[in-house]
Structure 1
Amino acid sequence: MTTTETRPGQTKPRRVQLGRPFGVQLASTGLANLGDGILGTLAPLLALSLTSSPMLISALTAATWLPWLLFGLVAGVIVDRVDRRRAQVAALLARAALMGSAAWLTLVGLLSIPLLIALLMLYGLTEVVADLGATAMVTDLVPPDRLPAANGRVIGVQQVANTFLGAPLAGVLIVLGAGLGFGVSAGLAALAGLLLLVGLKGDFRRASSGPTRPWAQVREGLAFLVRHRVLRPLVITGSVLNLAASGYFAVFVLWVVGPESAVGLTETQYPLVMLGLAVGAVAGSLVAAAFDKRFGTVRTMIGAFIASVLLMVAPVVWPTPVSLVLSCTLVGVTNTVGNVLSQSLRQRLVPGDLLGRIGGAGRTLSYGLMPLGALLAGALAEHAGLPVTFYAAVALSLLACGYLALRLRAADVPDQPAVVAAGAAS
């Protein structure tokens, strides 16, 4: 855990590192996300060798998000009722066994598209538990004033592991054999779980003074979220932003790739543009705490979200490769700064014994709306064209940001870093 020290002659406290326990959690997160990055690239590439059906290919994406919609609330209760470290370990080891099974099915030639979709859904179940447990545990490992820095490091590691390392590694592994790719993913999940089991000691169960029945605990978490004057607009805004962004990027490739597209990139050039988003996200994760300290949590968060949305107009108005790369990189920076501070704010406002349930409820809504956003954008682009779809996504996002600014002002949230107290229930 991080502390501060003051020596004779010093005018400001010296801030020491976040600590070894957080470092263990961060290393486990990196290993798990490296496996995520490998699977996220490996699965669709393997699917192309099994089917040419667009519906079945799109079902892979649906399978990865559906567990959040179906299991998010239940997983939140589980995380709040058990030791959060052990919940993560169990989820990661189950994931390792699952990927080991996928490797065996691939090697013996029994893997099919229905089995691959089922495997991805089960993988998603483990991810729901592991992610909720990891997010809730951050508050047990670092003090409130260091949450922006800790969350920035978590998001930075996730981006590096998923995009910079996982995706290219999957490209190499698919050449050597998909079974090997699944095996590597299994090994990384097992290593992530064992690292938490051996390297992080202590009891991470939060005692609850509320109801003991699972369904009553679900209702308690939902009621807290709905009544809270700060958390409610945060979750609503985040959900609308996710819906709009998923719609925007669902058809974005049609605007960018191909000789008939507005930008005219090739299929091999497009991943480099997406790499710009990842580069920006890593940069944003590193500067979020500094912006929080300099400008305040609420002001920085809302400003970053608005800037991110406005930058999404640039590729539409100026459809050039240079504009595309610059805007995507800056979107990565600003969106990550907003997300880091939003997550830190939620962690400071939610009682420790409710973090799993609040996180599960919030992600059920925000992640559950993403497939809907993609479908709506596809329908709108089909009938009104791509530019109209992009502008509609931007307009909806700006409305959400305006709503958030008005609601947080009405809730009288102190715009100071690490000083935000729990908002009163309305």
Structure 2
Amino acid sequence: MQRLPSAFRILWIGEAVSLFGTATSATLLALLAVTKLNAGAGWMGLLAAATWSPWLILGLPIGALVDQVSPRSAMIASDLVAAGAAGVVPLLWATGTLSLPALLAVAFVLGLCAVVFRAALPRLVLRVVDVAHFGAANSRLYATESASTVVGPGVAGLIAQAVSAAVGVLLDAISFLVSAACLTRIRITSCSSGEPDAMTDDTLVRRVRAGAELVARDRYLRYFAGLAALQNFGLTGLLSLQVLFLVDELAAPQVVIGLVLACGGIGGAIGGLLGPRFARRLGTARAPVVLQLISCGSLLVLFATSGAGVVWMAAGLLLGQFAIVGDNVVRTTWRLSYVPEYLQARVSTTMQMLAFAAMPVSGLVSGWLGQQLGVRMALALMLGCYVAGALTMPFGPLKGRRDLPAPVSLRSEL
């Protein structure tokens, strides 16, 4: 395993702790909504929409603003605000005032903090890791994110059964504080070299437009953004309804729910670690195509039944997340070297805004479909959207290529 700089290792530790808390809290909030506040499919859709709508509403301006400030400072600030938002849940629970609208508000604030944190993260990685280690750094970040979902949901189920889901959200608040503390210890000795930002004194609108225009002109970035929008629409439907599916249709106890959801994390952790190997063996263009086709195994979720039949859902989540995370590692590593450093946050938030804009819509649509057609049929339709996107990969701009293109300065010819 490659040895990475100490600054990255500190960032990695902080991320691991924060992601564990986030994975735990996401499951706990869903369990609170379903088991304590009697939320149905409609409310679960709204909860998903609240989590992802900040990307749609504020993603582009946040990306432009984050490109103008220290990425570490932006990430610390987002961690502190997120800790306060998560801490509100147990407080409201203790006073008997917790409600579904309050959960929606907390989900929105946590989503907003995630926008800031994720916009700044690529720039911080660029400043603490040299280009030769981008693949190893991204592999560890994605593998850690997925591994946290192995432990988080399982712990969430145990906490909810032993104490209270609301009390468990305290773990998330504490994890954000730990992440902020780790970030304060990072010492950046030099900034990433690369093209200077010629738009430092430009208006916010023009800075936003610079990132959006690059994505619109570049056929690879444009295709990946559109693909992510379609696939995230489908995957958010799965995420919105999976707890309800396990509780209402499969009659799974809370501990089993945590274990089944953890299988997705196991697959993602393996995919995160093996993604760079796929790229080296198959090529950075062929690997995403193969992994996308493998991810169609997520359709196994639809075969799940009560009792031992939940193994089909576990298998679908494991296989799907293995391929999705492995693909993300390959493409994110490529994008870090492909896009100029000064445009990283803007390009990242532009692509994520396009990708995540579908998520709040998906939350509402999947909730409505669940009410009208039943949860299983709603899952079938949403997963169908995901698979439709995966099947375009062999025919898109990667067709016939072994590797994704090398970076070209300002790429005026695109």
What SS does structure 2 have at the residue aligned with 1:297? coil
1:35 match: 21
Whether the aligned pair in 2 keeps the contact of 1:30 and 1:161 (CA below 8 Å) is: yes
* Amino acid of the structure 2 residue aligned with 1:400: G
- The CA distance in 2 between the partners of 1:321 and 1:102, in whole Å, is 31
1:316-327 superposed matches below 5 A: 316=302, 320-327=309-316
Deviations 1:201-258 (A, max 9, x none): 4466995112621111011111111001211101111111111223355556787766
SS at match of 2:285: helix
Q: How many residues align?
A: 404
1:213 is matched with which residue? 203
> Partner of 1:224 in structure 2?
214
Percent identity at matched positions? Answer: 22
5+ residue gaps, structure 1 = 1-14
SS at match of 2:102: helix
| Secondary structure of the corresponding residue to residue 78 of structure 2 | helix
**1:343 matched residue in structure 2:** 332
- 1:247-326 equivalences in 2 (<5 Å): 247-248=237-238, 250=240, 266-268=252-254, 269-309=256-296, 311-316=297-302, 320-326=309-315
Shift of 1:182: 4.3
Q: CA deviation at 1:347?
A: 1.8
1:258-298 Cα distance to aligned partner (Å, 9 max, x none): 6xx6xx56345444332221111111111111111111111
**1-structure distance, mates of 2:302, 2:91:** 46
1:245 is aligned, of 231, 235, 249, to 235
How far apart are 1:382 and its partner, in Å? 6.8
* CA 1:297–1:355: 2 relative to 1, 3 Å: same
Aligned mate of 1:154, from 141, 144, 165: 141
Q: How many Å apart are 1:399 and its aligned residue?
A: 4.4
**Inter-partner Cα distance in structure 2 for 1:345 and 1:354:** 15
Which of 65, 71, 92 is the aligned partner of 1:78?
65
Name 1:355's counterpart in structure 2: 344
- Judged with a 3 Å threshold, the aligned counterparts in structure 2 of structure 1 residues 373 and 100 are, in CA distance, closer, same or farther, namely closer
Structure 1 position 165 matched with structure 2 position 152: yes
Q: Equivalences for 1:355-394 in 2 at 5 Å?
A: 355-377=344-366, 393=382
2:140 alignment partner AA = R
- In the alignment, is the contact (CA less than 8 A) between 2:62 and 2:115 conserved in 1? yes
Matched, 1:119 2:101: no
Aligned to 2:128: 141
CA contact (8 A) 1:80 1:356 kept: yes
The amino acid that maps onto 2:68 is R
Three-state SS of the structure 2 residue aligned to 1:208 is coil
Output the CA distance in 2 between the equivalents of 1:331 and 1:379.
Answer: 24
Question: 2:75 aligned to 73, 88, 92, which one?
Answer: 88
Q: Do the aligned residues in 2 keep the contact of 1:41 with 1:167 (CA within 8 Å)?
A: no
Unmatched segments (≥5 aa) in structure 2: none
Partner of 1:59: 46
Matched, 1:200 2:187: yes
Q: 2:7 aligns with which of 1, 6, 21?
A: 21
Quote the Cα distance in structure 1 between the aligned partners of 2:302 and 2:32.
33
Q: What is the one-letter code of the residue matched to 1:218?
A: V
Residues in 2 aligned to 1:110 and 1:160: alpha-carbon distance in whole angstroms:
34
Greater alpha carbon shift after TM alignment, 77-86 vs 382-391? 382-391
* Maintained 8 Å contact 2:153/2:262: no
Moved more, 137-146 or 333-342: 137-146
Structure 1 residues 145, 183: CA separation in 2 closer, same or farther (over 3 Å shift)? same
Deviates more, 1:137-146 or 1:289-298: 137-146
User: Structure 1 residues 146, 119: closer, same or farther in 2, change over 3 A?
Assistant: same
Distance apart, 1:415 and its partner CA: 2.7
CA contact 1:83–1:203 (8 Å) conserved in 2: no
Query: What SS does the aligned partner of 1:52 have?
Result: coil
State how far apart, in whole Å, the 1-side matches of 2:370 and 2:43 are: 21
RMSD of aligned C-alpha atoms?
3.4
Q: Partner letter of residue 350 of structure 1?
A: V
2:153–2:258: 8 Å Cα contact kept in structure 1?
A: no
Other structure's SS at 2:277 match: helix
- Indicate the residue corresponding to 1:329 in structure 2: 318
Whether the 8 Å CA contact 1:279–1:329 is kept in 2: the answer is: yes
Residues 136/274 of structure 1: CA separation in 2 closer, same or farther (3 Å cut)? same
Deviation of 1:326 (Å): 3.2
Where 1:230 maps in the other structure, the secondary structure is: helix
1:10 alignment partner in structure 2: none
* Distance in 2, Cα, partners of 1:327 & 1:53: 25
Secondary structure of 1:210's match? coil
Larger Rg: 1
The 3 A distance-change label for structure 1 pair 109 and 409 is closer
The range that moved more, 333-342 or 133-142, is 133-142
Residue 69 of structure 1 pairs with residue 59 of structure 2: no
